[in-house]
Structure 1
Amino acid sequence: MSDVPFSKGDRVEVRRASSLPGGLRGGDAFYPATVLRAPARSRAQILVEYDSVASPTSTLTPLREYVPWVTARPAPPNEFGRRFLPGETVEAYAEEGWHQGTVLEVSEDNSRYLVFLEATQEEADFLQSCLRLRREWTGGGWDPPFPGQKLLPGKPSPVTESKPGKVRQLKITFSKKSAPRFKKGKTVEVCSDDEGYEGAWYTAVIVDYLGNGKYIVEYLTLKTDDETAPLREEAREDYIRPYPPRRLVPFSLLDKVDVWYNDGWWTGVISKVLNGSTYVIYFSTTNEELVFEQLDLRIHQDWINQKWVIDSQDAFHQLGPATGNLSSKTYFHKGMKVEVRSDEDGYRGSWYTAVILDSIGEDVYLVEYQTLKADDETELLKEKVRGSDIRPYPPEVQQTCGFARLEAVDAWYNDGWWMGHISQILKDLKYQVYFRLSNEEMVFKHDDLRPHLEWMGGQWIPSSKIKALSGGLLATMTYAELAKDDSLLGLLSGGSLSSKVPQLLSLCE
């Protein structure tokens, strides 16, 4: 068994078929996972649990499966801030995995890259933080090596071996014509990137497919300059989406909605409800408010992973049927690794890693903390805890692309995890986090944060983001400022803004 290079708890990446929409047969990608058992049943396989690949029986449960250990490799170290050049072979993070591609174009500020993906034979736009240099694990090290890593025996320097001719050869691959994602005659929506119209969606029909992810579309509401015919133009695939279904839902304050205006759909936030059918909508792109009737509104939806996702404060409730009974009891057993919530003053709401030692009564357990010590500092602290203050140890979620403003996170502080919200994104992968219970902000490194998850009905549920506020007027202020400043009273109807901050934050919790 010693020839198996992985042990229980090791962080790995497993090569499996690509999950990218339209992926070609045989296209592979690497998916982050944790080794649960090695070797498993036979010397040739290990049991892994994926970070983000969902089980086929539940989208909220990570997939566990036996895989040949030769298909796994150690998780490579993070290499933040690296810049890439056209022609470099990279791996791009998409659909929960790392997919091989080649850099085609680089933005002026080196923050975005156009990448040709091998799995789909198509081009896609990526943030710098979602890319890494393509490396191979040879069993003894990475090739090419990371900074500080010794070159493998017999391997030439990757710098001296790079040849311009490789870039020219790759351009032949780019000309391959991929299968169209949208068929001729299909009704779609096309997003504008014209100045003054950025982010607006216009209804159109697919006229023809040009290849390389480009289409000719004909708009249903836009005319040519001479007003004699419907406007036709070329549109890239990443600016096209299917026509969204109409959903009849009631609108509420702070709902993110699409508004019919100037022959297209514009995204805004309901900032005031005037009566049962009239609303004031705030548009972050123009920093203005306009009044619309209910018939001119639709709930905002995002096309994600080939399905429509409602982006509003009601989005969480759609998870209800999939989560089962939210009051269902969780059973803990001896030796189980858990997290325990504190209710002591000054520590209320923080979570601490522990192990169940024994059940000592109805829904009462004896636990041993893994990061807290007894008063004499000689041994780990043991304590009786109610079952309602215990939850299973959450899965490790790799936040590869960084955290977003207003995102709910857990911060590692004073030997425990404290729930807060990203109030500001700083330099060098640092974040300012606002804690509602103490009404204070602190700065944390990326590695000291994790995405916030809620344990409900026997499932881990990702915490909703307050996306309705992101990019809006409120997003220009920190939570601490919001709690103290009533000058934005007009944005929220009735009451002081200070009293409404807990309501806004509760949308994430």
Structure 2
Amino acid sequence: MLVEIASTDDGFRGSWYAATVVRRPSRRSSSYAVEFREIYEDEEGTRRVTEEVAGSQIRPVPPEEANPKRDFRVGDEVEARYNDGWWEGVVVDRMRGGRRFGVSFREWRERVVFEVGDLRLRREWVRGSWLPPGDADAEDRQQKAQSQMEMKVAKKMKSNEFTKGTPVEVSSDEDGYRGAWFAAVVVEEVSKGKYLVEFKNFRTEDGAELLKEEADALHIRPCPPEIIVADHFNLFDEVDALHNDSWWVGVVSKVLSRSRYTVYFRDTKEELVFQHSNLRLHQEWIGGRWMTASLDPKNNTRLV
């Protein structure tokens, strides 16, 4: 069976690699054995790499684009074919002629230019189906239906301008803290694209006052809107888990009793148990909008 595997290695989060399942879980092992299609042990390309992976790292191959020459827009979430895998990114530039696009990757914070044939719309595998579905015509209709007001708001928010007193979340590139977001408030703009923020849950070494630090706009985002999960989270839901006074992105790997869940963290390769109240559906701040694969945009509730 052909599938795609999410990498858990440092620096590779957000990348997917084609593989074939060669062994399923058994009583002796809960992991899958997979053979990668384009990753080899030797330079000659004669021996494919085989690894054991967790079920939370596996998804089916996304559907092929109905329109392989589709036109991407700035702000579109895409996956780009790069270094033998598909990497999650955001379209930030549309080159002259419309066949080449600049893509920014959250893991590297770099911009790379790709031909249209090396891009595909980013889709999420949620509860046994792909969102959005592989219907290019429906996607085009949805894009055209977006109001002019929404486009103006998105353009303004993409500038990453934050005013004094704005509640925000701040990320860090320090080892051991990647993937975590910390609640803070903007104190002031220090310079263009750089802000002084005050953390809500961290104090100075002497404990006298809340900790303040400078952060650039790429590491700051608004606080995500609340998504009501009235019943329960599902297996393989991508969530944020409240741990050590910050929010960490992970995947629900087990649904336990009494509203508890085991969450797998790809960056640290560990699993922790959380109560329902300490989880929220993961959202991405893309192009001035909050995006999530399992949200009904009409009423901000989880699709069931």
Q: Please report the TM-score for the alignment, with normalisation by the length of structure 1.
A: 0.30
